[in-house]
Structure 1
């Protein structure tokens, strides 16, 4: 068992795993004609013969750690190596020397696979299911991401309290939109929410979870974090697992500081968390047909800091069949079911909204996969198809909209701080996707002075989405404080809406080619990839708004093909040099250019009827809290006088229609003819050393430059683009000292989309990683990361407001929703440790420690900007400042597990466990009030959950 098997090559080199062997005699002369046999519990016996160059390989191997290799050649001692471990996408490279013999003899070696990969530069982590069950974690993918070197996650989980919502994560300068999800190498990334998974898979039911965070293989489109889940597979012996883990609020401490209790906060944490499930598989026909099945439930009942309940019920299961049709042909089928039910889902966080604004979530989904692979001598071919049938609905706890224009409306108070009340929107979406992938590997020895592995393939993705978003009364109310010139003395805005219905389709096709050539100690990887992405608008019907229907009428939208495509060439090159020739001291260099994922972003931009909105002033003249047409007004920015709301010249804002021709279905927005995918250029250098047979360390250095990101510029009715000259200095903010800018004219008629020509961000990092496999009763994985991630505008902006604050500041991606906002993810240092020690009498103790610099606080004041309205001005409390100057306190989290193993036989055992999460009961601040004019500025709004204990039992055979 290996804790976090940090490997240097796991970017899905094969669709399964492989063992590659070079056989020589004692003088180093290659031995041809060596008979090789590979056996294992999950395969039929495989045989081959070494080539003229003494090489042999076994391809398309399922994940397992019980492979046995036997080599035989007349005149030499037979060689047997047992307990060879294979991971998904990893090559096990072995150099074996056969000894001459005068009588028939054999040599048996019991050992693990090499800990360093000598051929590839990709870096990442493999986590086995056995390891997962032995660590004190909440057993979901996002918690495990917090243990990965250099990866940051937007929320901190204590004992599974965050397991009911997906987290946003970022690794080594890669954006959220560049992250991908796969099952057995098949792409399941949600194109409607790039970087997210389409389902809450039960990680305890999978064989491995692997994460690649740098130097991505040519099969990977982007330079972001690549996550792949490897399903379990039945073998020739029946095997399975049952597990039950229980947390209860009675086993939980209280860590809420008195200062927070004084303002009404209560103990957060969990009321209960139950994790239970079973896995079982085995042979239907020995060596020919195997089955595997899994079913698991996560019952999460969490508490928020304000005392409300957040209940989630996650059900996940899959069935799988594997067929060995011939010795060189394999086929498998896979079906997964996932369902999420959630009661009390928030949009902004429980501290920023009242309970009546919560959602209840419903909606199951399915994933279907079929795969076949074939070996013809030195040629390996693989084809897979994976279909995702997903979607969900967020139903307001007050009920779906009734069409009543009298409310209750969603109401957002913007001052003194943000807080929402009323009836939230009803949101539903159906998301389906098909991925077809063909790939191959061809091996050629002694060609152009070296040995070559040619990788080639094609990838096709097609996806559709239909979505609705409906608000009670077709509006949202916003309160911005006092305004003496208005009849009620208060500034209220009514954002008038048309019901939102969209239907999009997406297509991407890709081709890739790579050559991995070995010349003695030097390995060279040269690759090229091409991606072509488009998305279109499907036919759709949208009803009229009850407000200003002459401007937001009923429309029937026809199907529209994409007027633009992202066409991206992505070159990759890497070098590996074996300094000592024994595979124990390696220098690796890699350079690559990656494109990004567009998802449905292209279609949403040219859709003639997308999100339709008109913002006007509302004055509750009769004081009944309901909006009527005679209470809606436009605004003259020159004298703040109220005007006719039917005159577009006095609207505060509007979008996605032409006021001069509201029924028009012409595409108003325009793409630059040269608009293309953003670029991520990456250079990395690393040194890897095998310190001991089962202990390796490496130092990694990364330089990444992201450029040509998307830039959207407003235009007026004449098609003239907005410009810096449209903005003027209107005053100085007394708190930040920054200039407040006003706007002369509005540019709302349409938008022009292009790429930033000069703006870019740069990520630089140095990282130490150590990995110790389980031997001599202990194992360990640790990492230390120093990084710097900055953004530089280089004059690429229109509105100068806040540019001085952001230009040269850090890059800190904002939390991606899922019930959490206002978190800005950036840490310049991280320390991560996880380990296990085997005590006497069958006891194991393990732990994880994560420490990092505190995330960013984006402090602001709310000011009225002439010609624009109320807007945030960012800066430091002492004046001036850059984004990144203010931070939360440093963060750390310690979890510990004690486990007792009762061995029942050679392959079966029972494990009893006790986990302690946040063992020190720390109450680290995770979010604070950042409105500098608020009375509670700097007050904690979210803290780390308190210490809690979990007890469990696991039976495995």
Structure 2
């Protein structure tokens, strides 16, 4: 299949190069300079020779009949421009800043005179991009290397407006524009590195979250966070698009060796949740990290062939401590254990410029990593039952051609591959995982083996092609056509630790053999007895000998699942400059996704008719490129991660609610004994899940979101700009798996509970209500309309670097309201995009406030960011970073009455329990260079994080119940605090 894909991609590229007529999608990894040559009277001047020069050489073109010129495919950086024509003085402009994904417009006015006379303009390129309606931020290495910043490049995202806390997903996958953290699209050097299984950045595990990002801080040149208003060229996101480019070579050699150290002793004492909770968990005592980085950039052939090479090994250690009385680890007296991650990141890029306006580029980067064997799931078992090691990371590459075919026709095409993997290497496969409801009730502790684990790898072959035409017809037009194809293979190994367990036939349950399972060690409460426990051994006394193992989960299908996705996108867009002040932008995008499951009963389904119109209007208020008023409306579709293909389009036969007598081994570990259900009074029903193939309701479509952006940008002076914008987003349709039963129907008769894939709403009619069978009975099924609306007002203030000073500041006032978070569900921590438990049951009284709109989990009413630096005479740099965020809404959550999982059902309107505290962080960066000769520097630096040592509560336990009727004694107690004061030092040798 891969060979066929390569043949397809190469033939397509040849067709494009020969015909010049393409439709396509290509991600923008460059910037652009454009303008129009005019004389002093405002008349256009054709035939002007215009050239731009940077560290990678010079590009030249001649203005056409309308006097226009455009230089696409420019590597972000600083450029100079020259314009020459006989009869006019030569025009030169220096210090022109080109930013990633941006267009710098030059007002080129030629004066009559001798060509030998030169008029030089410095630093007057407008800061406001009057060609785009995109809102967000572009952050260059000039800024982010001069302010306090963690070493992971994903920490850069928080500098942009509209980026917020995603809850339990962590900083690597932020909430952008009110979306959940699994709805963003991550692009590095044109490679879509978004995890194919879950929609995260880089390698991902549904147990450990994001692990690695594919590229590290030192390799990054510039980051663009697109929050909204972006053109039809960009898709696959209902959150944001994060566009990153890595460093490149040039006509000068640069490089260095860098060392960063963050000793554990440079961190203040942490505040521990165990101080406030009955249920103790693993404590993090300290975190230390060290890394060495080396890079070299330059040329092999001046003006023709450039390169960049970088290597950055990192060693991170987190010292953890077992809960009191639970663990016996390295030192039985204190229970400490060091969790070690070793990361070996590298990056390489080569650029060949055979002709002035044509280049070929190859970029590759990777972060192979491993974590040492240990209690990586948390130290909650005696011995080493749950010991495991991890291997994870990614490897990505892309090859691209960029060409200016004529002054009015540009072409780019690329072929790439993104690969990531996660593997958990278990020490003991045969040990079951169980929650002890006996010795530790009512404070619960998970014991035993690892339990559920999923190893996965994803491969995404990508082909992109885009062409641009400039022409005049009732104004100036820039037409873009694009096509993108992705061929995804995603493999998951999903199972539970423990032995093979044969669940016998019982009632309507046919009998199945499962691959291990997860359990609860508990007493059985006899229904209708007023809370009386069953005396399982009949000795007249309730003791530990009467405890049973309740099997909560167990999968019976082949754990190895191979899935596929084919994804096609087409788009067309036009930027029509109607007058010198008014630009109309209109585009249309079409996405088509075919998804296939694996194993027996696997299905294939095509998600079609995903038409995404975009329309925007830009008004250059004074016609000088320094002030714009703009608006944009668009529709945005998600790309469905392959986790749905694994769990819904593949076989997922399983068992829940089987009860077993208990055997104990020589170490006191419980294991399943005889099947207990036939002996139990009023025995509970054994439930078979996923027995039937998943049914996709005909005409089911992909989730989409509508968006409106209104904005105003103004250049205050040559180096400072101000922006204000209003953003409204609303989910128009959701894609989910929905159950066919109500909770009451499930409890009464649930042997063959069935899910369907659909677009649920208040008017949905997929189910025969009385029986729960799939079909239409002319009655609404009892679902609710999905609601997620986001309103935000943002203010931005940016100062480009000049006279040693630069900063980026922004403030957001926002409201996130609804009943549907998105592809990630913080209520129960579920990272199953499009197949969460939210719509698993039709509405009845058991679901309480499940679908009542309220403040969603990632709602943060206020967010304030400031990042800036000042470099004094002599080279000393002082940088500061400040972030202040208002608290998260708190909701009382009950356990699910059918699944018995905690964190499922809101007992009251969302946010009724108030909010967590404001979170403030103030960080400082200081560095000083010692210079040797003209080209060598030894720079010493220190970064201080959380200078004020704030230790406020970040999260609280919102689970009012552990299981139905079992109250959680830790309700509303802290589950997380800010990381305290900590420091990092650095030594950098640079040339």
Q: CA deviation at 1:262?
A: 10
Is the CA contact (8 Å cut-off) linking 1:705 and 1:762 kept in structure 2? yes
Give the alignment's TM-score, normalised by structure 1: 0.83
Q: Go from structure 1 to structure 2 and tell me whether the alpha carbon gap of 1:461 and 1:453 turns closer, same or farther (over 3 Å shift).
A: same
Match of 1:493 in 2: 550
Answering whether residue 630 of structure 2 is matched by residue 630 of structure 1, we say no
Q: Mean alpha-carbon deviation: is it higher for 775-784 or for 296-305?
A: 296-305
Q: CA deviation at 1:586?
A: 0.9
Match of 2:21 in 1: none
The separation in 1 between residues aligned to 2:899 and 2:393, in whole angstroms, is 43
Is the CA contact (8 Å cut-off) linking 2:29 and 2:243 kept in structure 1? no
Secondary structure class of the residue paired with 2:83 = strand
Q: Give the RMSD, CA atoms, in angstroms.
A: 3.1
* Alignment of structure 1 residues 674-693 onto 2, 5 Å: 674-693=699-718
The separation in 1 between residues aligned to 2:669 and 2:284, in whole angstroms, is 34
Secondary structure class of the residue paired with 2:854 = coil
Q: Mean alpha-carbon deviation: is it higher for 244-253 or for 346-355?
A: 346-355
* Alignment of structure 1 residues 385-784 onto 2, 5 Å: 385-396=415-426, 399-401=427-429, 404=430, 407-411=431-435, 416-425=442-451, 426-445=453-472, 447=473, 449-470=474-495, 471-473=497-499, 474-479=516-521, 483=525, 484-486=532-534, 487=536, 490=547, 492-494=549-551, 495-498=553-556, 500-520=559-579, 521-538=581-598, 540=599, 557=600, 560=602, 562-601=604-643, 603-604=645-646, 606-610=648-652, 612-620=654-662, 625-633=669-677, 641-642=682-683, 650-651=685-686, 653-657=687-691, 668-714=693-739, 721-723=740-742, 726=744, 743-746=747-750, 748-757=752-761, 758-784=785-811
Secondary structure class of the residue paired with 2:143 = helix
* Alignment of structure 1 residues 136-535 onto 2, 5 Å: 136-154=148-166, 167-198=172-203, 199-200=212-213, 201-221=215-235, 222-256=237-271, 260=275, 268=284, 270-304=286-320, 308-343=337-372, 357=386, 359-377=388-406, 378-396=408-426, 399-401=427-429, 404=430, 407-411=431-435, 416-425=442-451, 426-445=453-472, 447=473, 449-470=474-495, 471-473=497-499, 474-479=516-521, 483=525, 484-486=532-534, 487=536, 490=547, 492-494=549-551, 495-498=553-556, 500-520=559-579, 521-535=581-595
Q: Go from structure 1 to structure 2 and tell me whether the alpha carbon gap of 1:258 and 1:531 turns closer, same or farther (over 3 Å shift).
A: closer
The separation in 1 between residues aligned to 2:757 and 2:276, in whole angstroms, is 49
Which deviations, in whole Å up to 9, do the C-alpha atoms of 1:77-128 show, x marking residues without a partner? 2111122222232211111222233684212223264211001101222222
Aligned residues: 855
Secondary structure class of the residue paired with 1:565 = strand
The separation in 2 between residues aligned to 1:356 and 1:94, in whole angstroms, is 66
Is the CA contact (8 Å cut-off) linking 2:435 and 2:444 kept in structure 1? no
Q: Mean alpha-carbon deviation: is it higher for 265-274 or for 853-862?
A: 265-274
Q: Go from structure 1 to structure 2 and tell me whether the alpha carbon gap of 1:127 and 1:318 turns closer, same or farther (over 3 Å shift).
A: same
Is the CA contact (8 Å cut-off) linking 2:856 and 2:889 kept in structure 1? no
Q: Go from structure 1 to structure 2 and tell me whether the alpha carbon gap of 1:314 and 1:856 turns closer, same or farther (over 3 Å shift).
A: farther
The separation in 2 between residues aligned to 1:452 and 1:848, in whole angstroms, is 42
* Alignment of structure 1 residues 33-48 onto 2, 5 Å: 33-43=47-57, 45-48=58-61
Is the CA contact (8 Å cut-off) linking 1:468 and 1:500 kept in structure 2? yes
Is the CA contact (8 Å cut-off) linking 1:41 and 1:236 kept in structure 2? yes
Q: Go from structure 1 to structure 2 and tell me whether the alpha carbon gap of 1:226 and 1:356 turns closer, same or farther (over 3 Å shift).
A: farther
The separation in 2 between residues aligned to 1:596 and 1:773, in whole angstroms, is 34
Q: Go from structure 1 to structure 2 and tell me whether the alpha carbon gap of 1:869 and 1:24 turns closer, same or farther (over 3 Å shift).
A: closer
Is the CA contact (8 Å cut-off) linking 2:807 and 2:869 kept in structure 1? yes
Is the CA contact (8 Å cut-off) linking 2:925 and 2:944 kept in structure 1? yes
Q: Residue 43 of structure 2: which of 18, 29, 35 is its match? A: 29
Q: Residue 828 of structure 1: which of 833, 836, 861 is its match? A: 861
The separation in 1 between residues aligned to 2:167 and 2:445, in whole angstroms, is 21
The separation in 1 between residues aligned to 2:901 and 2:597, in whole angstroms, is 34
The separation in 2 between residues aligned to 1:294 and 1:791, in whole angstroms, is 45
Is the CA contact (8 Å cut-off) linking 2:854 and 2:909 kept in structure 1? no
The separation in 1 between residues aligned to 2:713 and 2:163, in whole angstroms, is 20
Q: CA deviation at 1:146?
A: 2.2
The separation in 1 between residues aligned to 2:276 and 2:644, in whole angstroms, is 48
Is the CA contact (8 Å cut-off) linking 2:191 and 2:417 kept in structure 1? no
Match of 2:18 in 1: none
Q: Go from structure 1 to structure 2 and tell me whether the alpha carbon gap of 1:620 and 1:605 turns closer, same or farther (over 3 Å shift).
A: closer
The unaligned stretches of length 5 or more in structure 1 are 1-10, 157-161, 541-556, 644-649, 659-667, 715-720, 728-741, 813-824
The separation in 1 between residues aligned to 2:397 and 2:678, in whole angstroms, is 53
The unaligned stretches of length 5 or more in structure 2 are 1-24, 204-211, 323-335, 500-515, 526-531, 537-544, 762-784, 821-837, 961-966
The separation in 2 between residues aligned to 1:213 and 1:62, in whole angstroms, is 22
* Alignment of structure 1 residues 9-158 onto 2, 5 Å: 14-43=28-57, 45-65=58-78, 67-101=79-113, 104-111=116-123, 113-154=125-166
Q: Go from structure 1 to structure 2 and tell me whether the alpha carbon gap of 1:871 and 1:775 turns closer, same or farther (over 3 Å shift).
A: closer
